[in-house]
Structure 1
Amino acid sequence: MEFQRSDAMLMEILQERKSITGFLDAVFGFLKRNTDFYHTKKDADDKVGFPKGIRDQILYGAMQRYDPDCWLQTMSAESGIDDSGLNAPPAINEITVGTEELEAETKPAKAKVKSRRGFEPADHKNGAVFEHHCWSQTLKDVEFHIQLPDNLQAAKQLNIEIKADKIKVCSKSVPQQLILEGALSQRIRHNEAVWSIDDGKLLICCDKAKERWWDRLLENDAEIDIKKLDTERYIDELPEDSQQAIEKLRVQQIAEDQQQKEALAAIDPEQTKTLERLKEAWDAEGSPFKGQPFDPSVVRMS
């Protein structure tokens, strides 16, 4: 679809900024630096910018056009509302969609429903999986994967409430259809949470308030054994000074290995070949030395 390319670029900005406020700051900063959006025409001969008040109409019109509670949301470009926003009515013309209309929107389509994949192991790594949702975690962040009902597949149909200590996902229709609700076992940075919908699932990503391993997602969930978690951290997740120290040790080890190899080759080429074979066998499956630093002095060689 035509919006997929722009969605991909905008999603990258949203994931980088991690909040709606940061995302909008990036967008309006771009408009300030690269367009005449903030320039107000001084007279009719001014070739750039907008007459006074028009910029606000453009902004409000664009907001209303995608508001599910506003009639503009259902209008198309063929209806006379263009992307400039100049033809959009002011915000006071906003109307509320009735309950019957919302219920009609949420009725499942009669089209053939395609099968959707279940949860993948990566979706609940270091977490747990349930019938309709699962969660995963690293030391810094947590992700929720929530299976959405067939009749609630669009963002405009959902109320997604993310607080520091609780989460609630339900329908906007009346009566309310509850999908997931509960108090979180630990606090999150809810102002920086981002979410998306893909393949019939709602994905919520957020940072933990404190770096620690969770033993459950919701307070009423059964505990998981945090001693069995994969706590390995990638080097690029470590502090910068730790990364530099590890890189320095790696370079030193490479240099020492090369010096040792060159010295042995100069003394006895056959001995060098023997050590190379020994080094290969050192970490082989079943070796008593597997996982230990290579030290040929512990092996007697005839």
Structure 2
Amino acid sequence: MASGSEKYDTALLAILQNEGKVAPFLDEVLGFLYRRTDFFRIMKTDTDRLGFPPGVAYKLLKNIFKKYEILAQKDSEKADQMRQARKKKQETQEQQSEASNMQTPTEPSQAPLCQGTSGANDQDKRGQEESAVASSEPQGEGDRVEQMETSSESETQNAKSSESKSGDGEDEEDPELARQRRELQANPLTYNGAEREAYFWSQNITEVDVRVKVPKSIVKGKQMKVDIKSKHIHVALQESDGSWRDLVNSELSWDVDKEESMWTLSPGEFVHINLEKKQERWWENVFTDEPKINTKKIDCSRPMTDLDDEAQAKIEEMMFNQRQKQLGLPQSHEVKTHEMLRKAWDAEGSPFKGQPFDPSRFSVDPSGVVNFNQQT
């Protein structure tokens, strides 16, 4: 039997194959939530028993999307690393093969010659012994001075090397800590954050996600109490005897917008608290009473989804233009001008009337100005 999220793959795959494309598949899934659940119902008052507060259902979808978006990014990075490792290994093997081919084979005639030249070998040995005796004789003053200068230079170089290493020590990271950090970054629950005894936390530039661990017996929201304030979080669970036990009761490191923050329960796993930061900044810790992380070692890039529509449109246009330029195709400003000229090309009074549209007859600069090329 399939485990985890794969247990429904067969049923979902059948729906996807029937719909043929992702968009209608997603439409069917959300349509099911609309028809059979209160997912799209908005709670108008605190006494409403069904639905979600305004914006909460959308945030829930957004958080789940971000979870798998991060996983996909990590999969892509891992695949790139594997490709680079294979390429490096192949290059190393090729270099070793070339080096092996370049080595000169030993001449077969050398072995017999060595066997018949014992006298020469004896002379070589005597020469080596004389050299050894000469090296053991007392050195002159000049030799000693030269040796002292060489030793002094070596010590100076070693001292400079030690100073350089000690000066760069702040940027160096213990290998074990580096391994732990990579594992945290690879986990969506601790991405740009950390794992603590009672909770996980992750963050981007605008939000913090805290997941407080709960026992398997916690399966309903009414078994939990979650109080979110601008700079304080209190999470408690109800014991079997009806008493309440604190899981988290701590001050936040920075202010959050409690009106935009929310919490949901993943039965038997954790309480997921999504916090909206008051300021766009990277947090070193989520609570003031926990150790700090090194924000210089996290992923400080901002996903396009965090930018406003205008900024996203500009970035997409730049990416489109870069691809078009590499392929030798018209860029965005040229495409718009081409469409306008195509309509006027064969219009009444046009000097090109009756001729096929030919973009090579003109060029368009980035400001949109059209320059017609002289015919040769």
TM-score range, shorter chain: 0.3 to 0.5
Q: Which has the higher helix share?
A: 2
Q: Larger relative contact order (C-alpha < 8 A, sep ≥ 6)?
A: 1
Structure ID, larger Rg:
2
